[in-house]
Structure 1
Amino acid sequence: MTHRNTARKTLLSVAAVAVTALLAGCGAVGMDPEAGKSPVPLPSPNGTRQAIAKENLVHLWPLTVDRGSIECRKDEQTVFVDESGKAYALNRKAEDAGVTKIDGIRRESEGGWQVGLGAMRSHALALCTTGKDKKKS
């Protein structure tokens, strides 16, 4: 075997280890506790309020608490309310109205990034439309 072939094999081995480490940091390798789970459908909303839990969003669940409710309030303020009744802002409109920022209960991914609020916020915004439809009826 030539020096060039040995160097090439060493480089390929190092590259393989680097790619594996990179994928592990992204959560693509390793044990994911949510692997194989399917989301449970959300219960029917009660006007502009709806119960929501980790099992409804599975991988997309963005919080360190497992359940609560989402609400659409005046002027499309979207909030998450934990089981103790404490409200957290899901959007800027709620923050501007004085609702506590949600950062204190945001979940971090394995890579250290905060899990996005998009899925939960979308469900809460849909309640704003539901509430308007009921008021028109």
Structure 2
Amino acid sequence: MIVNHRRAAVAALAGLALLMLTACGSGGRSEPATTDPVPLPSPTATRQQISEKNLGYTWPLTVDHVTAECRAGDQAVITVPDGTTYALNDRAREAGYNDVAAVRSTGDGGDKMSIGTLLSRTLKLCKAGQ
């Protein structure tokens, strides 16, 4: 009986901790321009248009759309509307592309937004081109 109460208490505390983490945010946005994202189609080439409308809360950039691309050697890059190309991963940075920090948004918590979702989508383009 005591074991069940302890398990319930631990589960409740874990749930509360998770709720607090998501409420406080980890650099995310509480009010993005898009709250109902439009799914991206499965990639069929090494280049794809991605916008804030596709990623909603996880859109990490100060621009509203990019062309994501996988270049030689699994270099994940994005090109913003003004034509500047930025590196999303180390391979692209080592190849000399600009650091994406220049166009990364700051989330509600004051931290830079994670580029993880955008990077993941871009790396899928590498597989599509093989």
TM > 0.5 between the two?
A: yes
| Structure (1 or 2) with the greater helix fraction | 1
- Which secondary structure does the structure 2 equivalent of 1:104 belong to? helix
Unaligned 5+ segments in structure 1 are 1-21, 133-137
Match of 2:11 in 1: none
Q: 1:36 to 1:107 in 2, by over 3 A?
A: closer
Asked whether the equivalents of residues 75 and 89 of structure 2 are also in contact (C-alpha less than 8 Å), the reply is yes
Larger Rg: 1
- Which secondary structure does the structure 2 equivalent of 1:72 belong to? strand
- Which secondary structure does the structure 2 equivalent of 1:55 belong to? helix
Relative contact order higher in (CA < 8 Å, ≥ 6 apart): 2
The one of 107, 116, 119 aligned to 1:118 = 116
Structure 1 residue 26 displacement after superposition: 2.4
Match of 2:63 in 1: 65
Q: What residue identity is the alignment partner of 1:104? A: A
Match of 2:12 in 1: none
Structure 1 residue 35 displacement after superposition: 8.6
- Which secondary structure does the structure 2 equivalent of 1:75 belong to? coil
Q: Among the aligned pairs, what percent are the same residue?
A: 42
User: May I ask how many residue pairs the two structures share in their alignment?
Assistant: 107
Asked whether the equivalents of residues 45 and 51 of structure 1 are also in contact (C-alpha less than 8 Å), the reply is no
The one of 94, 97, 101 aligned to 1:96 = 94
- Which secondary structure does the structure 1 equivalent of 2:62 belong to? coil
Shift >3 Å, 4+ stretches: 43-46
